[in-house]
Amino acid sequence: MSSGRRSESMDHRWVVFHLCLLLIVGEEAGAELRYSIPEEVKDGTVVGNIAKDLGLDKGSLIDRRFRVVSGSKEDFFEVNADSGALQVRKKIDREELCHGSGACLMELKILVENPLEMHHVVIEITDVNDHSPNFSENEQMFEIGEQSSVGTRFQVHAARDPDAGANAIRTYTLTANEHFDIEVSQIDEDKIPFLVLKKSLDREENNKHLLFLTAVDGGKPPKSGILNVSVIVLDNNDNRPKFIKEIYQIEIQENASIGSTVTKLSALDPDEGTNGDIEYSLSKTLPRKVYNIFNLDRVSGEITLKEQLDYEDSDIYKLDVQASDKGQPPLIGRCRLVLKIKDVNDNAPDIEVTSLSKTVSEDSKPGTVISLISVRDKDSGVNGKVVLQISNDVPFELKPSYKENIYSVVTKNILDREINPEYKIIIKATDCGEPPLSALKLLSIEITDVNDNSPCFPQNPLHVYLVENNVPGASVFSVSATDKDVNENAAISYHLVRENDVTALLNINSDNGQIFAMKSFDFESLKTFQFQVVNEHVHCDVAAQRRSSRICGYNLELESFQTLKVKTFQRGYLSSVSVYI
């Protein structure tokens, strides 16, 4: 029994594996609307006319419930149902919304109902120069030996500017002086300023220099920030610590345990004694969260984890490390550690029901859309690829959209409410990680009734024996029919077919099928007669008027029996009644 279960589990994993390969190799791409708008624009600013760009009729937008379906916690945009224009709903701060200098893109889902459609809009939020360059500290002090050689460089605190592109920091300037220049080095996307000694220092001539470093951005007009730089001239150390590399690149998995070693850095200083003793530290200009996550041992240079890493929060860290000797003045060597975080499959897929029709008519054609579903996984690569399937046996199936990870749930077969009035659809999303993670979503669908069943008599024909000299107006017998439909579709009324003057002999209650004698029967004058009872249901809806009916025929024979006897046999839709008196 256990080996059979293992075999079924392996078969399931192979199916998921092959489906994942199909998703990786064959991704569909579809057209989507793209707009661009600056940050900080006023509420109500029009981004573009979506209805016009999609070719939708403006007169039908309200009836079709034309709206934005946002997947984020904050709704920055809304559509005008009258004009079809996409408008800004609240102030957008690009720096708060998108960190970094890359393109800031927002993706919206535009939903149109009756019939159901989904469109995708990508909006680029462009930067405006609303921030000035800012230094983390107001002042930086250097202790420089008077014997330092011309051309020696000293790293100055870099300014930070959250703006991007042309509005980011462009250059640094230094107040005019005869001893120092400023040079700027480009490391990745960062500009690092260095104070460069252009003329030898003489402590006896001047033991302190006060300078102003200005960071200027590329906005129009430009904005700037100032750092006070003070240089204390000392006689001391002539060798600075030096790392083996200027840039180290390390990879580490995001599930590395707290306290584990990331790497161990080492710098060399050829000086002796305190001038060769090295202490390690992280640069003071790094983002605050770096100091919360990583710990650098000042003596050993070992970097360990203080907090758990999360690839979905940040996939790369850049640590600027300093090695300082204990000479007077101290000399500093620097390197950069680029730490790349490797993703592990630690996030299960998330299934979002964008739209759901909780009821569906039993006469819906195969392919009718009842729900729109999107699925996403925060992981990357194979760990973020998701296979979506309906895991139980129901007459519904999933249809993929042109947009990746968007699906519609549609009817697969003809529905029959009389067989099954309700369905529970279990949707399962499984990623392609190892081991795979899954999520379930339950959809409850009620099948609504249509008038697709005719009333039916249980006995047809029917023979009834009556006693002659009955009391006129009294009930002699009753008929009853059933209908598999429900509510108004199952309401039944009865009436006699007007032939052979039967209405002079009998009458019927249209609500319950009770039949009454209109006269007293006399066996010697009337032994038998035949009539038909019709039961019918009339249902009116917007589309058409439908009628379903069954006819029950009856033969009445009058004889001198004192007891009532009923004989039944089946013959089509007619029910015959023979009454013997």
Average pLDDT (460-466) is 75
Q: How many CA atoms lie within 13 A of 90 on its CB side?
A: 5
- Give percent above pLDDT 90 in the chain: 41
Q: Is the pLDDT of residue 454 over 70?
A: yes
Check whether residue 323 and residue 375 sit in a common domain: no
Three-state SS sequence of 264-324: ECCEECCCCHHHCCEEEEECCCCCHHHHHHEEECCCCCEEEECCCCCCCCCCEEEEEEEEE
Name residue 359's beta-bridge partners.
Answer: 446
Q: Looking at per-residue confidence, does 75 or 546 come out higher?
A: 75
**pLDDT band of 17, cuts 50, 70, 90:** very low
- Together in a domain, 73 and 170: no
Q: What is the pLDDT of residue 107?
A: 86
By DSSP bridging, strand 438-448 and strand 359-361 are parallel
283 and 369: one domain? Answer: no
What value, to the nearest 5°, has the Cα angle with vertex 339 and ends 347 and 136? 105
Asked which of 74, 95, 126 is the last residue of a domain, the reply is 126
- State which of 318, 342, 366 marks the end of a domain: 342
Same domain, 338 and 359: no
Residue 127 has a pLDDT of 80
> Is the pLDDT confidence value at 29 over 70?
no
Q: What CATH number did the domain enclosing 335 receive? A: 2.60.40.60
Q: State the pLDDT at residue 215.
A: 93
Quote the tokens at residue 412: 């697969």
Q: Which amino acid is at 505?
A: L
Which two structure tokens, joined as six digits, stand for 296? 């650098």
Lowest mean pLDDT segment, chosen from 197-201, 285-289, 566-570: 566-570
Q: What confidence tens digit (pLDDT) does each residue in 386-402 have? A: 999 999 999 999 999 88
* Residue 31: pLDDT over 80: no
Mean predicted lDDT score pLDDT of the chain: 82
194 vs 271: which has the higher pLDDT: 194
Confidence of residue 236 (pLDDT cuts 50, 70, 90): low
**Residue range 534-541: mean pLDDT, rounded:** 52
Can you tell me the mean pLDDT for 490-510? Answer: 81
Residue type, 180: F
Rounded CA-CA distance 351/393 in Å is 20
pLDDT digit string, tens, across residues 404-415: 889 999 999 999
Do residue 478 and residue 415 come from a single domain? no
pLDDT at 334 over 70: yes
How far apart, in whole angstroms, are the C-alpha atoms of residue 177 and residue 210? Answer: 10
Going by C-beta distance under 8 Å and a sequence separation of 6 or more, which residues neighbour residue 132?
A: 161, 217, 223, 224, 225
In the numeric block, which tokens belong to residue 330? 């101290």
Q: List pLDDT tens digits, range 2-13.
A: 444 444 444 444
Q: What is the pLDDT of residue 225?
A: 92
The share of the chain scoring above pLDDT 70, in percent, equals: 84
Q: How many CB atoms lie under 10 A from the CB of residue 279?
A: 16
Tell whether 441 and 468 lie within a shared domain: no
* Host H or E run for residue 263: strand 261-264
Q: Distance between CA atoms of 398 and 367, rounded to whole angstroms?
A: 10
Task: Give dist(CA 239, CA 246) in Å, integer.
Answer: 17
- Residue 452 scores a pLDDT above 50: yes
Spatial separation of the C-alpha atoms in residues 413 and 395, rounded to whole Å: 5
Q: Given this model, what pLDDT does residue 501 score?
A: 74
User: Are both 193 and 331 inside the same structural domain?
Assistant: yes
Domain count of the fold of the chain = 4
Question: Quick one: average pLDDT of 74-81?
Answer: 83
User: Same structural domain for residues 354 and 337?
Assistant: no
Do 61 and 177 lie in one domain? The reply is no
| Residue 218 placed within a domain | yes
Identify any residues that bridge with 388 across adjacent strands, giving them in sequence order.
Answer: 429
Residue 564 scores a pLDDT above 50: no
User: Are both 318 and 444 inside the same structural domain?
Assistant: no
455 domain-assigned:
no
Please report the DSSP string for 76-125 in residue order: -EEE-TTT-EEEE-S---HHHHS-SSS--EEEEEEEETTTTEEEEEEEEE
Q: How confident is the model at residue 235 (pLDDT cuts 50, 70, 90)?
A: low
**Mean pLDDT, residues 548-559 taken together:** 46
Last residue of a domain, one of 448, 472, 488: 448
The predicted-structure confidence for 88-132, as pLDDT tens digits, reads as follows 888 888 877 777 667 888 888 888 888 888 888 898 888 887 888
Inform me whether the pLDDT recorded for 317 exceeds 90. yes
Are the beta carbons of 553 and 575 closer than 8 angstroms?
yes
- pLDDT for the residue numbered 8: 43
**How many CB atoms sit inside 10 A of residue 188's CB?**
11
pLDDT at position 71, please? 58
User: Between β-strands 350-356 and 261-264, what pairing exists: parallel, antiparallel or unpaired?
Assistant: unpaired
- Evaluate if residue 541 carries a pLDDT over 80: no
How confident is the model over 32-60, as a mean pLDDT?
Answer: 86
CA separation for the pair 83, 50 (Å, rounded): 9
Domain assignment present for residue 146? The answer is yes
pLDDT of res. 336: 96
Token pair for residue 339? 């730490």
Encode pLDDT of 248-286 as tens digits.
Answer: 999 999 999 999 999 999 999 988 888 889 999 999 989
- Cα(443)–Cα(296) distance, integer angstroms: 52
Beta bridge partners of 446: 359, 422
Q: Strand pairing of 261-264 and 247-253? A: unpaired
Confidence of residue 536 (pLDDT cuts 50, 70, 90): low
Residue 59 has pLDDT above 90, yes or no: no
Task: Count Cβ atoms below 10 Å from residue 302 Cβ, excluding itself.
Answer: 16
Q: What pLDDT is recorded for position 570?
A: 25
d(CA 478, CA 459): 12
Asked if residue 2 belongs to a domain, the reply is: no
Do 316 and 258 belong together in one domain?
Answer: yes
Domain coverage including residue 562:
462-568
Residue 385: how many CB atoms within 10 A of its CB? 23
Q: Is the pLDDT of residue 565 over 60?
A: no
The answer to whether position 539 is within a domain reads yes
pLDDT for position 398: 95
Report if residue 1 sits inside a domain: no
How sure is the predictor about 141, in pLDDT bands with cuts at 50, 70 and 90?
very high
Residue 530 belongs to some domain of the structure: yes
Residue 231 lies in a domain: yes
Distances (CA, A) of 129 to 46, 88, 94, 193: 21, 20, 11, 22
Tokens, residue 181: 């220049």
Residue-level pLDDT at 542:
28
* The pair of three-digit structure tokens given for residue 464, joined into one six-digit string: 């009834």
Edge-first strand listing for the sheet containing 359-361: 359-361, 438-448, 422-431, 386-390
Relative to beta strand 350-356, strand 369-376 is antiparallel
If phi over 0 gives left and psi between -120 and 50 gives alpha, with beta otherwise, what is residue 188? left
> Do residue 65 and residue 101 come from a single domain?
yes
Q: How confident is the model at residue 562 (pLDDT cuts 50, 70, 90)?
A: very low
More confident residue, 158 or 462: 158
